[in-house]
Amino acid sequence: MILRPLALIAALGLPVAAQAANRECAQSPGKVIELCVFVDQGQAFYQVSRRGVPVLAPSTLGLGFAGEPRARYTALGNARRAAVDTQWEQPWGEQRLIRDNHNELAVTLTGDTPLNSSVGVTFRLFDDGIGFRYDYGAIPAGQAVSVTADHSQFRTVGAYQAWWYEALGQERDEYLYTQTDARRITLAETPLTMKGENGLYLSFHEAALVDFPSMLLAGDGAGTLSARPMPWPDGVLARKTGPFTTPWRTVLIGESAGALADSRIELNLNEPSRIADISWFKPTKYVGVWWEMHLKKTTWGSGPTHGANTANVERYMDFAAKYGFGGVLVEGWNKGWDGEWTEHGDQFSFTEPYPDFDIRAITAYGKAKGVELIGHHETGGAVVNYAAQLEDAMKLYQDVGVSVVKTGYVKHSGDILDENGGKQWFAGQYMVRHHLQAVEVAAAHRIAIDAHEPVKDTGLRRTWPNMISREGARGQEFNAWGTPTNPPEHTVILPFTRMLAGPMDYTPGIFDITHGKTEVTERVQSTLATQLALYVVLYSPVQMAADLPENYEARPDAFQFIRDVPTDWETSRTLAGEIGDYIVVARQPRGGKDWFLGALTDEEARTIGQPLTFLTPGKRYEAQIYRDGPDADYRTNPTALVTERRIVTSKDVLTFNLAPGGGTAIRFKLLN
């Protein structure tokens, strides 16, 4: 039996008559999703259904403040409605044109405490999910308040499986996902993705995270998730001055895992760009002095094996120029890396190079070849030290022609010291403020930021398009020294979890899969074809060819795909997939006619028949295919690769025979 909204309220013991008199509802543009908000017995609730089927049971709303008891809400009123159907263009991205089609319902809650006396709640309903946020516009201007509780709930209806990891771990977001019954969630990071027995897929996250702590979700063992923002050291969640609004809490709702991946709600809930001209940033592929350090061939610190020396960097620039890469990342160039640098990040200088690194000569050398130096600022989590040098550091990079900088915050979460010696979480309000400060200063100097050990993305790249990519998950470096390294399922979980937040700098493209290791759990757990497919599956506007130059030149057959694949797209489509099992993604280059496809599987071999209906009807394409060899296996024969070419049209179906841990990468080249 399908419970209609009022029947569901009655089933949960809530007075139907009271709700009918003090209740507002709205539907998404296509009448796919319905949301109702109401007040009962001193609490404010919202509930969500999809095509008449309950998705979220009545779930509480509101914030709590220091110095006040929990507010009792007595009324709901002042309902305002709006409808939006517009289109806007990303300056770069996974999709050039974004449609924003939503209906809005805004209400005012009346409470019995001073700070909750008048609370605005705005809901935006899309056909693929919802967002809501609070507006404390009645708090007088300049009045300081301390948020001590977030009463936002998400009460799922039915049985779900969840992919998650325990939040507030010392290594931030760099953990492998586990799949469990959703009722086993204790405290999880977002995006938190679930698959229901009812056939629905859900993902909980937030949008437009500005001057507020990152939201975690606490489970109660029975299907209810409650917001738990990362606190300050004294337990306060957020320090604000009136009036203020919160970030959007978001719920994606779809009938497939791919529907979640192709949602654009996170972007649509952010404000338009504050940068008048971002044309100076160009999406690109890059190489760098990086993987060799993780393999311990060279060092970040100074000395005879220092990797960031002028001659070595110029060698990489020669390679980049020869093969069409736009940048060379160099880590370890600046003073402060010697010794246990994670323990003394306050010794980093961001304007003083080591003597063997001539930054002006290097950037001039690269400029002559059409290759930029990609800067690097590792802070060791010493945020106070970095903030003090931020202006001078960005000015130096602007002066020498650096337009992209990779930042890093390698420090145990919960141990990041603020100006008062307080220990901060990596994504509490303090760090959210810091990361936005870094982006704003960088923008003033026409510099884009690729943040590692970051605050998670929440679509803020729309407002600040120099916030180009982030890490925020276990990346490729764990395949050099992780214990264990990333298993094959990791890269078919990420597209439906972490990647729902935004671009990730995973740094794909390792060709020397074993790098001297014999145990499979001590090296890259994938086939060579998988490393190619990652360039399509895991989106970022800056994609690294992470391996050593000599390993690429040893495999020109495979390397050709990395040379060809773009990093900026007209449109993107998730064609098929199941969380943790497999994925197929197709993308069309911005302004281009070709298509690129990436397919991945987990540790299981898999055969997929993929219709090519995304191709333009009536056109012929040359499918340039890079696939697993017939005996490929990530455990025993990871580098077996077959390249072939076929003529195809939109009427064809390609069969992908994916090896264990394997993949397929294809360029569909339009034929005249």
d(CA 346, CA 335): 11
CB under 8 A, 24+ apart: contacts of 181-187: 182/156, 182/219, 182/223, 183/219, 183/221, 183/222, 183/223, 184/219, 184/221, 185/217, 185/218, 185/219, 185/225, 186/218, 186/219, 187/216, 187/217, 187/218, 187/219, 187/228
d(CA 485, CA 634): 13
SS3 251: strand
CA distances from 35 to 47, 150, 540 (A): 6, 20, 34
Tokens of 101: 């089609």
CA distances from 157 to 180, 251, 307 (A): 17, 14, 54
CA distances from 309 to 255, 315, 564 (A): 52, 10, 29
What is the spatial order of strands in the sheet that 404-408 belongs to?
A: 467-470, 448-451, 404-408, 372-378, 327-330, 284-289, 542-544
Nearest CA to 165 out of 173, 156, 154 is that of 173
Residues designated as active site? 477
> Token match 């290097």: residue?
362
481: part of which helix (H) or strand (E)? helix 478-481
The 10 Å Cβ neighbour count of residue 412 is 14
